[in-house]
Structure 1
Amino acid sequence: MTTVTGVPTVDDGELVSTSPATGELAGRFPVAEPEDVDRAVDRARAAADWWAGLGFAGRRTRLSRWRAMLANRLPELADLCHRETGKPVAEAVVEILAAIEHVDWANRNAKRVLGPRRVRSRLVLVEHSAHLEYQPYGVVGVIGPWNYPVLTPLGSIGYALAAGNTVVFKPSEYSPAVGQWLVDTFAEVVPEQPVFQVVHGLGEVGAALCHARVDKVAFTGSTGTAKRVMAACAESLTPVVLEAGGKDAMIVDADADLDAAAEACVWGALTNAGQSCIGIERAYVVDAVHDAFVDKVVERAGRLTVGVDGADIGPITMPRQIEVIRRHITDAVARGGRAVLGGPEAVQPPYVRPTILLGVPEDADAIREETFGPTLTINRVADADEAVSRANALPYGLGGSVFGRRRATEIAARIRAGMVAVNSTLTFVGMSTLPFGGVGDSGFGRIHGPDGLREFARSKAVTRRRGPSPLPAMTFERTPAQVERIVKMARILYGR
């Protein structure tokens, strides 16, 4: 069999994963047929009662063991991420640390967020007490991405498990070895039941998971695939949480700390070779500081190294994305944009060197489409108001960044996005106390934080009568006099 470096192939019923940089074999994994997916979901459903029955304390004990294992074996997992996706080891370490933090927070806070609690009654139903409880869905299907193969799926998996669900995980075909490692280590600390399982394969395996009678699906990937996932789940009214594409913008106001802004912009745009849904792909800089900001960005980005081992930027994990990156750069230059670093010649498969583009028209592909590579467009604007208008002009709405002093928080509030960092970039993804997710073409639903725990639990409202009704409304036995008293009460309570 002939394999192309970094391209997952199926050989004799097995998914073959190789490094995008070296072609080294990362692993071979059996491809799941639709009936295999169904059986995995059946096993998960049988295990769901046991896992939910452990209660918050029992799950916390087991999830704490897994968290400790992830921390103690972090170098091993980081090396596997590097070998399979090409991600620099240092980048993998930062990713895994954030993932461990989310598992820890979800585990520690599940009972506080999801535990049953009394809710105050209102005067119109004063004779009833009320309480609220959250129940796990049952079986959650998670379809994960390759660009952050630990952090992103665990943002769903860790919260779903803490909420009392079992999980069937379909990792990206570009990172199956990492997905298998996560499932295998969990089985070491929870050997009793198949609480967390994996199914491998190409896109059709993800489709099979959507049709396999799971109780909820959490998906991360492109906007186009998110729409197909939603359509498949709609057939059975299976609820979904979708984290789709992005085209995030940074706004740099006239009073920004330019050194801090440039440092953050280079990190936000070029980390993980730009292969980040929340990466900064556009920067809008107020005229007064534009040239100075560009100089600082170019100087920092120009120092970055590209390569396999010890480099700042690794290869493009998905080879076909290289042609998208090439098209965006070429189109931008052809339409009057200027490359002040890199350019069309920066595309050297499997690598793309950092590319900074100035003056790119707002209707160019490099502005309007997700590039998912180590490129950045910087455009001059008259003021922050124009910057906000341009930032909000696209259908995406995932994250964003604002640098400034006097108006930064106000500007951030006007950006149409699920998350915004002020005087930093991407920090919201590591903040376990905050929800993560977007609007518009960037999807809907939330992972992380209290909202992320509630995303994987059904709210259940319970009322309990504790005495006779002073004004009986919910009965056919009510009298005309009682109805008149209800009318009077409505006027007293709400008529002013």
Structure 2
Amino acid sequence: MTVASALKPAAKIDFDGPYALTINGRMVETNKSFDVLNPATNAVFAKAPEGTAEHMEAAIAAAKAAFPKWAALSWDERGALVEAYADALEAHKEELITLLTMEQGKPRHSMAKGEVEAAIFWVREVAKRRLPIEMLEDTADHVVEVHHTPLGVVGAITPWNFPVLLGLWKVAPCLVTGNTMVMKPSPYTPLCTLRFGEIAQTVFPAGVFSVVSGGNDLGQQLTEHADIAKISFTGSTATGKRVMASGAGTLKRVTLELGGNDAAIVLADADWEPLIPTLFWAAFGNSGQWCIASKRLYVHRDIHAAFVEAFVAFGRQQTVGDGMDPNTDLGPIQNRMQYDKLKDLFADTKAQGYKVPLGGTIDESLAGNFVPVTIVDNPPEDSRIVQEEPFGPILPIIAFDTVDEVVEKANATIYGLAGSVWGRDREAAIAVAKRLETGTVWVNEIHIHGIDIPFGGHKQSGMGVENGHEGLAEFTNTKTLMFHK
């Protein structure tokens, strides 16, 4: 199969709807649909197709049937098609940005634009990556080689906070390594995924990539199915445990990118004033709805009071509103379930009498899921706001006295996704970073990612990695080939 023969004529894609499943290269309508709400208004703005068990079965069967021919293509042939997919996504970039804001809520001009552009870049760059054959031994009479072979059909389950980026993070490495994929998006944010599934049908052979939207029962079907070789899941730790348990019956490979309660540590010698905007957005970007947000900010006691004052002053300047408004800095909480969880956490913070120098009160009269930027000043270590992952725009800023103390507190969590350390003495900051029990630690920077940089969690923040050589290899089996000359 050549790249040219696989490409299909581009069809007009109407981002206003209607929406359909993509199965075996075709758009598939369903008898039932479900509402998709704009979180800035809680008004229904679209209907998404509600797939059934039969639809999921058909998508898995199509992916299984397509796998042998797809896996038989060369790396370069698959890479060319994945790169063509990036071009096709690029042609619809503006529509995807708008649709992402409508269904997710994040500001169109900043977070939504950045997410879609980063996702397309990721697809294009991953298309160029390869896993070469490793020669372990080559003597006069014996050869040992290590090959990376595709697994088969991969099931992907994507979250509602970054549905485009975290979806395409899975698609590109899965397909370039020779697997086929069935993706189930979050029912809160299915539309962008349905559209980039539709776009995929103009590029890939039938069955290589299908998208089936619907309820949580479809996710369970995907994780339990005997013909699914691997599950790639991004979401909460609680759901990740269920995914792992469901896949155990067939010993599925799993990559789980789960929750976090990331600590940012500002040391006594930090030049902290210029860091206020950086640390603010590290915590409050996407309205705090990301796994790697700084969710606990530890500041040395010598600078804590002045730091909190400056941090609060910066926070007061930010506008919470509709993501389609160019003046909006932070959008709404994506769904009512998460909004209600935050209401409960805010109520606990108030009931405990913690000092709240900014925010703290949710205006429930507003139609949208709007939550104010909230700072909690020096709550106790055993408080809910410190121990739990809020997944919203609320941040505790906690004073500490010694490095040993702050390291112990930062590590005293079931999570281990990421963290950051800030200080003038670079070597001292690195020494602290090495003691943190997390998959990623940034020193005097934060939220730097790269195609070739592995990303994954320790402890209950996940299993396996995404990105880098290691992330690409997770979509393959290691096969050792040895023979006598």
TM-score (norm 2): 0.89
1:408 maps to 2:429: yes
3-state SS in 1 of match to 2:127: helix
1: CA distance, partners of 2:307 / 2:483 = 63
The partner residue of 1:326 within 343, 354, 359 is: 343
The superposition leaves residues 49-92 of structure 1 with CA deviations (integer Å, 9 ceiling, x where unpaired) of: 22222211111111111112323432211100001111111211
1:29 maps to 2:42: no
1: CA distance, partners of 2:171 / 2:343 = 35
1:216 maps to 2:230: yes
Instruction: Write the mapping of 1:74-93 to structure 2, written as runs, cut at 5 A.
Output: 74-89=93-108, 90-93=110-113
2: CA distance, partners of 1:340 / 1:23 = 29
Instruction: Write the mapping of 1:260-279 to structure 2, written as runs, cut at 5 A.
Output: 260-279=274-293
Q: Hey, what does 1:189 align to over in structure 2?
A: 203
Larger radius of gyration: 1
1: CA distance, partners of 2:146 / 2:86 = 29
Q: Hey, what does 1:155 align to over in structure 2?
A: 169
1:305 maps to 2:324: no
Query: Offset at 1:28?
Result: 2.3
Query: Offset at 1:336?
Result: 4.1
Letter in 2 for 1:101: F
1: CA distance, partners of 2:279 / 2:363 = 19
What is the number of equivalent residue pairs in this alignment? 447
CA contact (8 A) 1:169 1:199 kept: yes
1: CA distance, partners of 2:439 / 2:45 = 35
Q: Hey, what does 2:11 align to over in structure 1?
A: none
Query: Offset at 1:296?
Result: 2.2
Query: Offset at 1:147?
Result: 0.3
Query: Offset at 1:350?
Result: 1.2
Query: Offset at 1:338?
Result: 0.7
Query: Offset at 1:12?
Result: 6.0
CA contact (8 A) 1:346 1:355 kept: no
**Structure 1 336/387 Cα, relative in aligned 2: closer, same or farther at 3 Å?**
farther
The superposition leaves residues 103-133 of structure 1 with CA deviations (integer Å, 9 ceiling, x where unpaired) of: 2232111x2xx13232236xxx985211111
Segments of structure 1 that go 5 or more residues without pairing to the other structure are 1-10, 467-496
3-state SS in 1 of match to 2:210: strand
1: CA distance, partners of 2:302 / 2:140 = 62
The superposition leaves residues 130-156 of structure 1 with CA deviations (integer Å, 9 ceiling, x where unpaired) of: 111100111100000010001112222
CA contact (8 A) 1:273 1:315 kept: yes
The superposition leaves residues 178-220 of structure 1 with CA deviations (integer Å, 9 ceiling, x where unpaired) of: 1101111111222x32211011111111001112221100011
The partner residue of 1:247 within 246, 257, 261 is: 261
Q: Hey, what does 1:200 align to over in structure 2?
A: 213
Instruction: Write the mapping of 1:58-457 to structure 2, written as runs, cut at 5 A.
Output: 58-89=77-108, 90-109=110-129, 111=130, 114-120=131-137, 127-190=141-204, 192-212=205-225, 213-308=227-322, 309-310=325-326, 311-345=328-362, 350-406=369-425, 407-427=428-448, 430-457=449-476
Q: Hey, what does 2:21 align to over in structure 1?
A: none
CA contact (8 A) 1:14 1:29 kept: yes
CA contact (8 A) 1:246 1:399 kept: yes
Query: Offset at 1:432?
Result: 1.6
1: CA distance, partners of 2:132 / 2:198 = 29
CA contact (8 A) 1:252 1:261 kept: no
The superposition leaves residues 231-253 of structure 1 with CA deviations (integer Å, 9 ceiling, x where unpaired) of: 11011111211111111110001
1: CA distance, partners of 2:352 / 2:141 = 71
CA contact (8 A) 1:433 1:448 kept: yes
**Structure 1 260/52 Cα, relative in aligned 2: closer, same or farther at 3 Å?**
farther
Query: Offset at 1:384?
Result: 2.6
The superposition leaves residues 443-466 of structure 1 with CA deviations (integer Å, 9 ceiling, x where unpaired) of: 111111111100101110011123
Query: Offset at 1:158?
Result: 1.3
The superposition leaves residues 263-283 of structure 1 with CA deviations (integer Å, 9 ceiling, x where unpaired) of: 221101111111111111110
1: CA distance, partners of 2:286 / 2:363 = 16
Q: Hey, what does 2:12 align to over in structure 1?
A: none
2: CA distance, partners of 1:368 / 1:426 = 22
2: CA distance, partners of 1:69 / 1:30 = 23
CA contact (8 A) 1:336 1:360 kept: no
The superposition leaves residues 341-388 of structure 1 with CA deviations (integer Å, 9 ceiling, x where unpaired) of: 101346665100100101211111111111010011000000232221
Letter in 2 for 1:419: T
Which has a greater percent of helix?
A: 1
2: CA distance, partners of 1:39 / 1:12 = 16
Letter in 2 for 1:294: V
CA contact (8 A) 2:361 2:372 kept: no
Mean Cα deviation higher: 252-261 or 159-168: 252-261
CA contact (8 A) 2:362 2:370 kept: no
1: CA distance, partners of 2:146 / 2:401 = 51
Letter in 2 for 1:28: K
Letter in 1 for 2:182: V
1:56 maps to 2:75: yes
TM-score (norm 1): 0.87
3-state SS in 1 of match to 2:308: helix
2: CA distance, partners of 1:322 / 1:75 = 28
3-state SS in 2 of match to 1:431: coil
Percentage of matched positions with identical amino acids = 37
3-state SS in 1 of match to 2:412: coil
2: CA distance, partners of 1:260 / 1:159 = 38
CA contact (8 A) 1:272 1:314 kept: yes
2: CA distance, partners of 1:453 / 1:74 = 25
Query: Offset at 1:325?
Result: 1.4
**4+ residue runs of structure 1 moved beyond 6 angstroms?**
none
